[in-house]
Structures are given as structure tokens and as C-alpha cells.
Amino acid sequence: MSCSVMSSVRAAVKYTSSRIQDAVKLRLENEDLTLYKIQTIPEVFEQACKVHGHMPALAFKSVGTSNGWRYITYNDYNHQVDKTVLLLLRSGVRPRTTVAILSSNCPEWLYIEMAAFKIGAVAMGIYPTSSTEAVHYKLKISEAFVCAVDTIDQMAKVHEAALHLPDLKTIIVLGDAFEYTPRQNLSYYHWSDLIDTQFTKDLDEKFLEYRKAVYANECAILIFTSGTTGMPKGVLLSHDNIITSVKKILNFAKLDNSNLVSYLPLNHIAAQMFEAFFGFMTGSCLHFADREALKGTLIDTLIHIKPAILFGVPRIFEKIRDQILYEK
């Protein structure tokens, strides 16, 4: 099911907050209010899906296809997100709770994130290379209610950390099934469970209720810093913050129905803005590079996809240059 609710602003007294549950004041004094539009992320996303419905939104490598890629249209993207909403609702997720994602980049990563946005929850990604200690720290600080994992190794990290995390109630298993020993204090859902699930009347009503509680000035994403100068710091970003920032960047980076590549870890704000949000806010197709992208395979993806824009630190471009010169 899909529904649209005009965005609203929750009453707030401060411009900043360190609590996920708080709303913040919006800085409108420097905006042209004849052009500025307050929006939530789900509003912008659903509008993009309506406009670009049958266009490709996401692509991932797949054996047996004509060009090696399988494509997901904007209509399918939105449908998968709504199916994921069902999974989150069944897991007990509600507005202002945190949904953690410990996984390599994949379409499911974005489905879970957008599903969280649609019901007023907060999405929080964790570096796939994180240690068990780092996973525990971030799940604890964020008060994560649900954590999605894509491999047995990631499951092991969460299992060990969960012994000391009373807020964590559910694990969602992505990708291919793998064997694990369930913990008594946790519930488990498999991505394959989505195939045959449908909205019941109760869940349908709950979705509508939660959608009305999505505010543009509330936290949407929790981003952790890398922690190079100490323990990672959590940064709370509102719906309005993200949408406004991306729109301002797009005033300079003109994109329209382009090809993009997802290779930076999606828990990083740069990947969120320049890959995930650039994708649907420009009607572009986001191609997922494989897990070994930063170990040398990225250039093959770039040659095939020819992305309109690529964001990266200088070292990324140095490595691409070195590989090109070496292959010559």
C-alpha cells in the first residue's frame, strides 16, 4: 500500500538536539519562501516514483541477464519499500525508534531505510567492517530496536552485542539464507518472508497512523563519524536538512535520468547524498557495484555504466588512475 500525507512541522524550541525523539526548529530566515518547500523524504521519494514509474531506479549485477544487470523500476522500488514497511511493522517498529543496517550496499539496504522513513522511524547504518565492539557501541547509543544483517559474520557481531542491548528486539536476515543459532531474547525475520506477506487491516491502519506522524523537522538518519579522533559521534539529520541540502547541491550538479554508481558504504553521509538521494531526486538509475569495488573492480563498473557523477576522496581517483595506467 502507498499513501501520501502533506508534510507538517512539529512544534520545537531549539535548532539542534541530541535526542532522536526531539524535533528541531527550521532555519527559514535565509530562504526564499516563495520557492522553499518543506518536505519529508517519503514525500519526495513517492513523487519521484510517480513521475518516473516505469524508468529504472536501481540495478544490481545478475547472472543470466542480457547485459549482466537486473533493473528495478521506480514503481517496483516503491512497492518493495511498502512491503518492507510491513516487515518493520510486524517487527514492532514505531515512530522515533531506530532501525540499524549492518550490510554491504544492496537494494534491500535502501528498501529498509526508506521504509523506516515512511513510518517516522530513524535509519542508522553501520560500517560492514566494524568490529563487534563498534557494533555494540552504535547499537547501544542509537537505542536500535531492529538490526538488519546480510552475512553470518555480521550476525555473529550482533548476537554477541545483543547480550548487553535490552532495546534490541529483532534481527532481519537479508540475502541468501544462512545457518545460525537463534537467541531467546530476539525475534528473527527473513527477507524471503516478504514474498507472501500482505497488509492486514490492522497493519494497514497502523501504517496510515504512523505516516501522519512523519515530520519534516524530526530526525530521519543517524550518521556516525569515523572515530579517527576518539569514539564515533552520532549526528542526527532531519528530513528537511537532507532534502534541502541535496536540492542545493543539485542546483550546481545538473543531473536528469542519469546513471549513478553506489560503491561508498551507505552508512556514510556522502553515499547517502551523492548516491541514494541523488538517484531518486533526479530520476536516475543507481547501479550497485560489487563488494570488491574498492579492491579493484570499481573501474570495470565505471567503464560499463559510465556514471554522470562520481563522488570520492582523492585516494579513490588516484587508485582509478593508477589502474588505468597499469592496464595500458
pLDDT at 32: 63
User: pLDDT band at 137, cuts 50/70/90?
Assistant: very high
Sequence-distant (6+) residues with CB within 8 A of 248 are none
Highest mean pLDDT among 26-30, 113-117, 257-261: 113-117
Q: pLDDT (tens digit, 9 = 90+) per residue, 25-50?
A: 998 776 665 567 899 999 999 999 99
The torsion defined by the Cα of 112, 113, 114 and 116, in degrees rounded to 10, comes to: 80
pLDDT at 6: 46
The pLDDT mean for the chain works out to: 90
CATH of domain 41-291: 3.40.50.12780
Residue 270 · residue 311 · CB < 8 Å? yes
Is 70 exceeded by the pLDDT of residue 252? yes
pLDDT at 4: 45
Q: pLDDT (tens digit, 9 = 90+) per residue, 164-209?
A: 999 999 999 997 777 788 888 899 988 887 767 777 888 889 999 9
Q: How many other β-carbons are positioned within 10 Å of the β-carbon of residue 126?
A: 27
Residue 46 · residue 28 · CB < 8 Å? no
* Separation between Cα atoms, residue 2 and residue 220, nearest integer Å: 19
Residue 287 · residue 262 · CB < 8 Å? yes
User: pLDDT band at 322, cuts 50/70/90?
Assistant: confident
Sequence-distant (6+) residues with CB within 8 A of 21 are 96
pLDDT at 42: 98
